[in-house]
Structure 1
């Protein structure tokens, strides 16, 4: 620390003091944004009787012309670089150590006498001298005005690099580099109000400020070797300027747009047609400027961008509600380059050949996880991370086939959160690890099995990436959005006759949306029928209390990792959240405490009732779904977050949009025939998801709850693997109708909550039935909206949840247990598990009956009977 100061104590505090030898570069959009900072410096120096030298050499209006302590040295750079440098360095030597200096805009040197390379050379020589002389100097630079040859030497040499932004009639600073200093908020955007520079932590506010000026691309973008791919976009940029002058026709611009869509967006005609309709040439150029590498941006990126463009044209009022985004796209070519550079290409190709696609996959995954990136690519990654600062980001898979018409790949590839709380080196390490994890996930058993099942194993499946700022804000040590969820334009779960399937449905949670799309633990979410949001599947408030969300996913900024916590533990940090919008007081619990003379404490229950009844949120989501469905001309689903502002308004962050394959009930189901009670094995009311059907079963796999419940965790995973072998056995996997009945949740990640099979293991089944007999307090969690649900929809699998306490429900497994168990015939050496897994050949029952499943989705009833 030293006596040097910017004259702004709040800024000194952000930068942890100005040190002898600090060169401070100010990147601004216009001269006026620099003036308040130089005024503060001169005023502070005058009070402390310090002289300042101003090197005047530019044509722009001087930020200040005179002051008692100001010495102005007028120089002429047109006399040549060597003479110009000599004059400045002579003045510095004459003045001695420990002085203050500021320079005219370095950008004027570029506009007048020097090239970008020479501007970089000038700065490097001068800054190194001043650093050695323990002096402090200010250098204003026009942001996005220089190429890599100027910016790179400046960035490498300077001690402090600050971005200045003007938005909302306020000035903001964002430190990009501060040598040998660090704090948990140092690289965040800071708002200057009065004497304070306050970190801006809310994602929507940050993005709005950074989007207040046009985006020119990453600083290192000009460093890339210009090939034909980039030249197309550079020509498009020239054409756009010409079109605005009137020298290029609309038809000519449309031809160029088609070329760019094919290059960077998609080769699928339906997607191309949508982009032609909703995107301009300028829109495509802006996508290019946010790309790292070449190739296409992939399905997840194009879905997000397309949805926003559709709403901009079709629902401008609703589009205004959207939180702006500032995402980056890592091109699909980077993936193939990475594989080739790390000697993984031929290993990966082996996975698409032969019968055993998983042979060698683990070895290939390990090579991908330990690979290295080319230095030029790492530089661009660094630039991107400097842009985001210490805001959390998420790196998302965005492969060419993902989120496309016909293939969702829901949950097949990884997405990785980066809390981004360390130094630039720490953040780069975290980010590169995330990229490797996603690249390696292309070799997972789930992904490869899905590709084979969908018949796309031999199709080009390059992995592009979508890098997004995480929506939300810090609350104490935790970062999360106030709410998140998924929404579907078609509702496959009509538990009440008032529900219109075509109105759509959403599944919402408090905190990060991972809890809305994964079924990972003993918790529940809110399912909302959009035409009747007040309806709940639960019959009473006791059930609401029992089946409410209790834990939320979040980023722990203290430990720098993704985590989860109990809502009641996080609630004390939520004083800036309108908590009564999402939760209600549990009056019964409050009375319980009061009667015992105990302070009521924290008695909130997450119901989302006020959100649905006292805001327009439900209406807005329904409007969004309708507009997107009309544009796509098919059912769709979206992922989103939402955050409420202090004035009561809210912003929706539309994260993802994709076509949804839904087979609606287009024909009336034949009436259930008259059957006796002794013929019924299972009668379930409620919890039926999928289109109605009446099918004759070929096989039934029943996991006996009483036996399974006694198993340890390791044995439960072994049982899951056995079930996978059964379902993939050639005898069952060839178009047979298979029903799975088991306790708890199929596909859970936690063995204590159900059967931890992967979807790839059981994707040959026709029906999943979950019994609420795993343990007291656990009921089947309707998988609506999860990755698990998306896969069921794609495979046209019926889902049933059996609630034993519900009136009229019954389940009698005695007939199943009385039949011959075919387990050992299908999986030899599995005799010890015969009491846990009962495999019934429904075509060879001892009674010569057949097993029929009659499922009425609108009526929310399913009956399994013998006939």
Structure 2
């Protein structure tokens, strides 16, 4: 038996003959960096190939644009082209067609950040040049899934013919859901193979078993699924099908049910699963007697995992009687061999007759023996004893191959903070926030000219340690936190559960080594997968803590750090983040959290620790003034730590001397920063509580006039002369003007920030945001230190088409703004919610927010995005300056309009986390100013039919969708009704 078994294994050398060895990535530097650092493409492929003893891993070559890619394809070959369409020299579909003209059989994949403009595909697009479209969701496993999917499609026909390799069929036409499901299915397959590798004894058999894993094929239409059924029906391991996908060229609401009915008629015992985003389709699954999964279920991944375990033969082998009752279950081949002698005849023959042993072995990549079992029938044996002996002998032959492998990225024994700027614990993702910082570090390493232009400045990222997302998963699993009924628990209860849980012992040992090596203050910050994402940002929703890290006892410092890490972990499951993902494609996805432990920038001045400058800068200034253009960017800076919103001096890095808030002596005296935040080191050395906010002290500027930052960044006010003198040695009352770094050459802050914004914009391929801190020192040999704390993309919105406005658009618009944020064209919105001007009452804005929340909830439940028009500042903390809504009270909005009226006078909401949420969700934001070119046609608006008319807000619904054109480059937007929009289509 063993000899026959080994002979069959020789066929595995012929499997996977078509491999993806060369990948051409067409992407800008930032997108490529995301794939490398967040997706860890090269590292994951190399680690997997090494861990499984596979041969040469794919090599990734990147080019910046389509022309360079076509040149590279003519000069050298490749096996796969991945297009990330964040460049503008050629339409990606035209580019795909050009590639196919050169190499008709070369796989071409689009990997985009959003489905906008890609699904459903525009009617005028020729998609023949693109094999498949995927959406980057922050899942590091998607990249490997793309490579594996291409290889499976190329090899399935030959490999099923040569070795009867099993096939899993996924029927799904949505790029977004395909990008969610396919990595999970491959992860299940790979985890299954990795688990059974423990049963391998020699390296060559490891290689062969990995090559024999089940192939996953994707069908996007009913006809394609039937073709696969005809070709691979005898090799199918299972079918996972959506309910709604194209059939006969049109979307068919019951295509999935019809397909599974056809399959059951041909292969009655084949495991199948019906998916749908509509829970009502569960009835169709029940009629077919097949499992059903709701795509929007928060437990989707767990239930899909259960399908693999219970129906596809993954995981334990469960002996059952014909009535479904369980007899015994075994986790591996050793266990199966152990129970086979004692399993009753009835369940043994039951499973053998239905090819359950073969399926289970196929799922474990035991192709040779599984293929043998597939060919034999129960009737081939004289009795059950002979069948039993056949199975036992075969399993004995399989139990010769075992292997284990551990990859360690952080070495507690060799960690040296003096030479380590960026370290990573674990093998998972860095998360959104940390990947931006890692990209910044990468840019700095490559930007030698930057340091030449700014000599004597230590430009850096702070020393950072990232605990990758896989350690969070281990923490949750080890403590049974996945079973917490988070929907029924308060935030306080969730935090208590997390804080009482234990970190994995290995992680705690690594953190102990880190704490023993560093004594500087630490920021413990969240870095979730969705944080700072371009189209679904959850930035600002999670926990970040500052630790003084000053206690003399290292054990106490470790205790503080461990507690802080668990607090950040807990924030992933709190109410607000979960609410923010509700109704999105991520609703079913349990958030994964990385933790970034970062050195806090600053210096000690006596007992106080603080940075000279904290700031944020953006490459796009959506609210320019004077001669400043949007592309000149903007920045906000302040002295000390930033712990309050709305504080700081706003300026343009290219024109730092143009300061609207400092336009006069009176303005300077009124608007200048008077207090700042610092860490009290004396108190910090005594406290053992990581949540002790008393380490923070608000200091008056007058109490710090002898400290270097205040001396260098302030000016002396001369009341008799009604002017300021910038000399730091002058005596008199000091006012924080930042003149030394904005007007003079003490430190070139503005040109450095402008250079970094230009560099980041160029390499990221989009507008970006930079957080930074500056430490000043006048002592010789200690240069000023400029630290990049965060680098992230600014989000864009809408359909990426040309949206230039005509003169007729501006005059015929229902409303027009020449102060608009966002870019794109919207053609599906019919609802408008607006505050009736006569009902606006500054003393009742809290009531207005409550009424708006009810309208929003109803429209969101109806899946009707809307235009929102209201007075004053949206999301303000001061109810007298506007309507103090929270994000969840308006999260169904598509376009927001801020009216600067006589009733409520307030500046737009510059730079808040609330405003970042708006831009991250691709929402157009308009400001309409009275007595300007802006206009709103109240007469036409009031004539529209009302769906609801409350105390403050009126909701109207148009007969036809509005056309909304927002030109982000020109900072203008027009909302057109159907009679004016019909010519646009």
TM range (shorter): 0.5 to 0.7
Match of 1:728 in 2: 857
1:500 CA displacement: 3.7
The change in CA–CA distance for 1:642 and 1:367 in structure 2 (over 3 A counts) is: same
Residue in 1 aligned with 2:678? 554
SS of residue matched to 1:322: strand
1:789 aligns with 2:915: yes
1:106-121 equivalences under 5 Å are: none
Cα separation, partners in 2 of 1:707 and 1:852, compared to 1, 3 Å: same
Contact 1:489-1:636 within 8 A present in 2 as well = yes
SS of the aligned residue for 2:859 comes to coil
Counting only pairs closer than 5 Å after superposition, residues 725-804 of structure 1 correspond to structure 2 as 725-730=854-859, 734-743=863-872, 745-749=873-877, 754-765=882-893, 766-769=895-898, 771=900, 779-780=906-907, 782-784=909-911, 786-800=912-926
Structure 2 SS opposite 1:321: strand
Q: In the alignment, what sits opposite 1:313?
A: 446
Residue 516 of structure 2 corresponds to 386
Q: 1:702: which partner in 2?
A: 835
- Find the counterpart in structure 1 of residue 526 from structure 2: 397
Are the equivalent residues in 2 in contact too, given 1:493–1:857 (CA < 8 A)? Answer: no
Please state how far the C-alpha of 1:449 moved relative to its aligned partner: 3.1
- Return the match for 2:649 from 526, 535, 553: 526
Q: What corresponds to 1:48 in structure 2?
A: none
Deviation at 1:656, TM superposition (A): 1.7
The alpha-carbon distance between structure 1 residues 265 and 852, as it changes in their structure 2 partners (threshold 3 A), is: closer
Conserved? CA contact 2:875–2:914, under 8 Å: yes
Which runs of structure 2 are paired with 1:347-496 in the superposition (5 Å)? Answer: 347=484, 363-389=493-519, 391-404=520-533, 406-422=535-551, 423-452=553-582, 454-459=584-589, 461-496=591-626
Residue 638 of structure 1: aligned partner: 770
Task: From the superposition, tell whether residues 706 and 339 of structure 1 become closer, same or farther in structure 2 (CA, over 3 Å).
Answer: same
How far off is 1:396 after superposition? 0.7
Equivalent-residue separation in structure 1 for 2:621 and 2:58 (angstroms): 41
Distance 1:404 1:807, change over 3 A: closer
Residue 482 of structure 2 is aligned to residue 345 of structure 1: yes
**Whole-angstrom CA distance in 2 between matches of 1:665 and 1:532:** 31
- Asked if the contact 1:699–1:732 (Cα under 8 Å) also holds between the matched residues in 2, the reply is no
Q: Is contact 1:418–1:430 with CA below 8 Å preserved after alignment?
A: yes
For residues 651 and 453 of structure 1, the distance between their equivalents in structure 2, rounded to whole angstroms, comes to: 44
**SS at structure 1 position matched to 2:656:** coil
Answering whether residue 708 of structure 2 is matched by residue 577 of structure 1, we say yes
1:685-711 per-position Cα deviation (integer Å, ceiling 9, x unaligned): 7x6433488998732342889975435
Write the mapping of 1:802-821 to structure 2, written as runs, cut at 5 A.
none
Asked if the contact 1:450/1:760 (under 8 Å) is kept, the reply is: yes
Within 2, Cα distance between the matches of 1:297 and 1:850?
A: 41
Unaligned runs of 5+ in 1: 1-227, 240-248, 256-263, 274-280, 352-356, 826-833
Q: Distance in 1 between matches of 2:699 and 2:717?
A: 13
Cα distance in structure 1, aligned partners of 2:760 and 2:409? 19
- Aligned to 2:763, what secondary structure does the other structure show? helix
Query: Are the counterparts in 2 of residues 299 and 403 from structure 1 also a CA contact under 8 Å?
Result: yes
1:771–1:692 Cα change, 3 Å:
farther
For 2:836 and 2:639, how far apart are their aligned partners in 1?
33
Conservation of the 8 A alpha-carbon contact between 1:475 and 1:574: no
Q: Distance between the aligned counterparts of 1:708 and 1:272, measured in 2?
A: 55
1:325 to 462, 469, 479: 462
| Alpha-carbon distance in 1 for matches of 2:838, 2:639 | 32
Structure 1 pair 404–592 and aligned structure 2 pair: CA distance change class (3 A): closer
Once the two structures are TM-superposed, the CA of residue 308 in structure 1 deviates from its matched residue by 1.1
Deviation at 1:741, TM superposition (A): 1.4
CA displacement, residues 188-238 of structure 1 (integer Å, 9 cap, x when unaligned) = xxxxxxxxxxxxxxxxxxxxxxxxxxxxxxxxxxxxxxxx99x969x99xx
- Partners in 1 of 2:499 and 2:605 — Cα distance? 33
Q: RMSD of the TM alignment (CA)? A: 5.3
Deviations 1:266-290 (A, max 9, x none): 44659999xxxxxxx9999988994
Alignment TM-score, normalising by the size of structure 2: 0.48
- 1:842 is the counterpart of 2:938: no
Measured after TM superposition, the shift of residue 313 of structure 1 is 1.3
Q: Structure 1 residues 272 and 589, CA, compared in 2 at 3 Å: closer, same or farther?
A: farther
Contact persistence 2:867–2:896 (CA under 8 A) = yes
How far is 1:858 from its partner? 6.5
From the superposition, tell whether residues 288 and 798 of structure 1 become closer, same or farther in structure 2 (CA, over 3 Å).
closer
Q: Does structure 1 retain, via aligned residues, the 8 Å contact 2:537–2:921?
A: no
Q: Indicate how the Cα distance of structure 1 residues 843 and 254 shifts in structure 2: closer, same or farther if over 3 A, else same.
A: closer
- Tell me, what secondary structure is at the counterpart of 1:372? coil
Do 1:297 and 1:464's aligned partners in 2 also have CA atoms closer than 8 Å? yes
- Number of equivalenced pairs: 567
Change (3 A) 1:693 1:376: closer
1:624 maps onto 2:777 in alignment: no
Bigger mean CA deviation after superposition, 763-772 or 853-862: 853-862
Give the Cα separation in 2 of the matches to 1:306 and 1:731: 36
CA contact (8 A) 2:410 2:424 kept: no
Q: 1:654 matched to which residue of 2?
A: 788
**Distance in structure 1 (CA, Å) of the matches to 2:738 and 2:946:** 45
Pair 283,409 (structure 1): closer, same or farther in 2 beyond 3 Å: same
- Whether the 8 Å contact between 1:773 and 1:779 is mirrored in structure 2 is no
Kindly provide the CA deviation profile for residues 639-698 of structure 1, in whole angstroms up to 9, marking residues without a partner as x: 21112231695321112222333359954212266879xx99x9977x643348899873
Structure-1-length-normalised TM-score? 0.54
Rounded Cα–Cα distance in structure 2 between residues aligned with 1:583 and 1:272: 56
The alpha-carbon distance between structure 1 residues 482 and 706, as it changes in their structure 2 partners (threshold 3 A), is farther
What do the CA deviations read for 1:228-262 (whole angstroms, capped 9, x no partner)? Answer: 99x969x99xx9xxxxxxxxx9x99979xxxxxxx
**For the structure 1 residues 774 and 616, does the alpha-carbon distance in structure 2 shift closer, same or farther, using more than 3 Å as the test?**
farther
Q: Distance in 2 between matches of 1:630 and 1:341?
A: 44
Deviations 1:57-97 (A, max 9, x none): xxxxxxxxxxxxxxxxxxxxxxxxxxxxxxxxxxxxxxxxx
Question: Unpaired segments of 5 or more residues in structure 2?
Answer: 1-42, 61-137, 148-406, 685-691, 981-985
How far does the alpha carbon of each residue in 1:393-416 deviate from its partner, in whole angstroms, 9 at most, with x for none?
100111233334544422122211
Shift of 1:465: 0.5
Is this contact kept in 2: 1:446–1:758, CA < 8 A? Answer: no
SS of 2:708's equivalent in the other structure is coil
Provide the C-alpha distance between the structure 2 equivalents of 1:579 and 1:571, rounded to a whole number of angstroms: 9
Displacement after TM superposition at 1:344 (Å): 1.6
